[in-house]
Amino acid sequence: MDLDPELAALRPLGGFFVLRTLPETAGAAGPPRLPTLAKGYAGRTPDGHGDPVASRVATVAERLRTAEPRVAASLAHQGLAARLWSVALGCAVLYGRLPDLDPRLLHWDARAAAPDDLWLTGLRPLPGDAATLAAAVLHAHLEPLASTLHARYGVAAGLLWGNAGSALAATARELGRWSRAHGRTDVAARTRALTAELFAHPLLNTTGTRTGTAFRRRSCCLYYRVPGGGLCGDCCLTRPPRPAPRTSPRPSPRSSPRSSPGAASG
């Protein structure tokens, strides 16, 4: 099935799977004037849009009412990872093909929610196999994003890859639920096969344990540190860690705090 210009087959899956598309036109008005994800990963943009990664982290911090940038950075990362996996895996199982998600083609409104956060300029079909999915999401997006968040906010690499695994598992479960509800056994089978291949990738195969569609990660995304937050269903922890006593010495400014207290990869 060929990719249609609006990727309309993604719409029944829900807004998190939807990707806005626009023709590739120089100087177009509207969303394409937003910075691309490539510029976001590189840092401050040269066209007056500031730093979209910092903007996203600040937006998440504001919405979740957390004063910890490291927590907001982790949850911002998990949200973007889930968006990218949803679009990529959704296209791969419904169309059998994948739009080119090159970070230079994806424009990012860092303060918007799905599906208005991402806009794809141009539609370039790619194969819908696991190797192409890994290249499109893991290598093109999640590696540079993890590097940026680790360097700026001290979020542990193990935690960030745990986010990536958790987001992939959640995307696969949602596709599985949709497939069962609509009698699409073909979509369910392709989802299972592609997800299994992706979790065999070196960047994901140590992020957690899969049992059927269930996933238990080996790290914690830090959601429990959000006011009113708790543990996610796939967390490695069984209960939120107790806060450190107030008399505990503060860590040296030169050392980054652990991203997942009590977790193996934190």
In whole angstroms, what is the distance from residue 72 CA to residue 62 CA? Answer: 9
pLDDT band at 26 (very low <50, low <70, confident <90, very high): very low
Q: 164 in a domain, yes or no? A: yes
Q: 230 in a domain, yes or no? A: no
Q: Which tokens go with 37?
A: 């994800």
- pLDDT at position 32 is 60
Task: Please check whether residue 142 is in contact with residue 84, taking contact to mean a CB–CB distance below 8 angstroms.
Answer: yes
Task: Please check whether residue 19 is in contact with residue 120, taking contact to mean a CB–CB distance below 8 angstroms.
Answer: yes
Task: Please check whether residue 139 is in contact with residue 146, taking contact to mean a CB–CB distance below 8 angstroms.
Answer: no
Assess whether pLDDT exceeds 90 at residue 253: no
In whole angstroms, what is the distance from residue 56 CA to residue 60 CA? Answer: 6
CA dihedral 217, 221, 225, 226 (to 10 degrees): -120
Assess whether pLDDT exceeds 50 at residue 20: yes
Task: Please check whether residue 142 is in contact with residue 167, taking contact to mean a CB–CB distance below 8 angstroms.
Answer: no
- pLDDT at position 238 is 85
Mean pLDDT of 60-86: 97
In degrees and rounded to multiples of 5, residue 2 shows phi and psi of -70, 150
- Average per-residue pLDDT for the chain: 87
- pLDDT at position 22 is 81
Cα 240 to Cα 126, 208, 223, 224: the distances in Å are 43, 19, 10, 6
Q: 112 in a domain, yes or no? A: yes
In whole angstroms, what is the distance from residue 225 CA to residue 49 CA? Answer: 30
Spell out the alpha helix ranges (H) of the chain: 37-42, 52-64, 69-94, 130-133, 143-153, 157-181, 185-199
Task: Please check whether residue 115 is in contact with residue 18, taking contact to mean a CB–CB distance below 8 angstroms.
Answer: yes
Q: 257 in a domain, yes or no? A: no
Assess whether pLDDT exceeds 70 at residue 249: no
Q: 195 in a domain, yes or no? A: yes
Identify the three-state secondary structure at position 40. Answer: helix
Mean pLDDT of 138-157: 96
Cα 184 to Cα 12, 99, 176, 197, 214: the distances in Å are 13, 22, 9, 20, 20
> Structural domain of residue 30, as residue ranges?
8-225
Least confident of 54-58, 177-181, 251-255: 251-255
Structural domains counted in the chain: 1
* Percent of the chain residues topping a pLDDT of 90: 77
Q: 186 in a domain, yes or no? A: yes
In whole angstroms, what is the distance from residue 178 CA to residue 146 CA? Answer: 30
Q: 243 in a domain, yes or no? A: no
In whole angstroms, what is the distance from residue 108 CA to residue 182 CA? Answer: 32
In whole angstroms, what is the distance from residue 124 CA to residue 261 CA? Answer: 43
Q: 248 in a domain, yes or no? A: no
In degrees and rounded to multiples of 5, residue 127 shows phi and psi of -60, 150
- The gap between the terminal CA atoms of the chain, to the nearest Å, is 42
In whole angstroms, what is the distance from residue 135 CA to residue 215 CA? Answer: 22
